[in-house]
Amino acid sequence: MTVTPLGHNRGMALEQPRTLSPSKVAAFTECALAFRFATIDRLPEPASPWTTKGTLVHAALERLFLLEPTARTLAAALICLDEAFTMIRTDAEYTDLHLSPDDEAAFVDDAERLVRQYFTLEDPTTIQPIGVEIMLDAEVGGVRVRGIIDRLELDADGELVVVDYKTGKAPPERYENGRLDGVQFYSLLCERNFGRRPARVKLLYLGDPLEISTTPSDQSSRAIERKVGAIWSAVERACERDDFRPKPSRLCEYCAFRVYCPAFGGDIAEGARVAAAIRSTATVADLVPTAVAH
């Protein structure tokens, strides 16, 4: 009997991902080849001070909203940041950055700047959170979609509001709709899980600081569902044909997979071989303790 691995269809040259997320949809749209390396081949990306700083600030704000409303002061937020940094500084996501003492001080100072700027966007003592870091999933457009909502709250009228923190700069106005697609995904996931459409979804750009928000509608929900369905069909075709093409742009300068990209003289097959070797090594390493124990 031939067993087909979960997520892998007969006739598919490459294994399909089991799920999509707002970030994966954005990644495929930005560059199908980078999506393949990250999601299909699962080629690890090196630690980045920007993503790690985002993890740290998100963790600090998550802690802040676990406090009682009157306790959510700036002083408390900075304590939350210190606690979050104590936790993350021994994690590989941070240690792999290999920051010098001066670079570490600048890293922490910038994280503090972002937390302070959060307080210019809203007063956390007035917020009614009903959950932070909420994982939701639902069937959308023929595929399972998963996403983590940074904060779900109730407004003064008791309606749902989805909030997403961004630690970078806000995009130019012409790109705002694309950035809002992510929180529109979360709105649709709320509809599917709770039977209620949020009254508002908003992005808080801590680096500017700036809030961008919109009101979900029947039209926006249908548009997101169509987009997911179209992206999933494109992913299926690309897996079937092993045809994930690069899309050179200014983002290439920051791409961890550039060395394997044919647009820059790289070899896709080499990237896939490296990813397979890493997965194989990790699998063997995971099995060693079990083998020794027996």
Per-block average pLDDT, block size 10, for the chain (294 residues)? 39 86 94 97 92 97 98 98 97 96 98 98 98 96 95 97 93 65 90 96 95 94 94 97 96 93 96 91 48 34
Which one-letter amino acid corresponds to residue 290?
T
Contact 128, 159 (CB under 8 A): no
**Other CB atoms within 10 A of residue 101 CB:** 7
Nearest Cα residue to 222 out of 260, 180, 184, 276: 184
Helix (H) or strand (E) holding 145: strand 143-154
Say what the pLDDT of residue 12 is.
66
Nearest Cα residue to 178 out of 144, 212, 136, 152: 212
Q: Per the structure block, which two tokens stand in for 14?
A: 């490459």
Contact 135, 150 (CB under 8 A): no
Nearest Cα residue to 214 out of 192, 198, 190, 191: 198
Say what the pLDDT of residue 174 is.
59
Task: Determine the Cα–Cα distance for residues 59 and 84; give it in Å rounded to an integer.
Answer: 6
Bridge partner residues of 140 (DSSP): 143
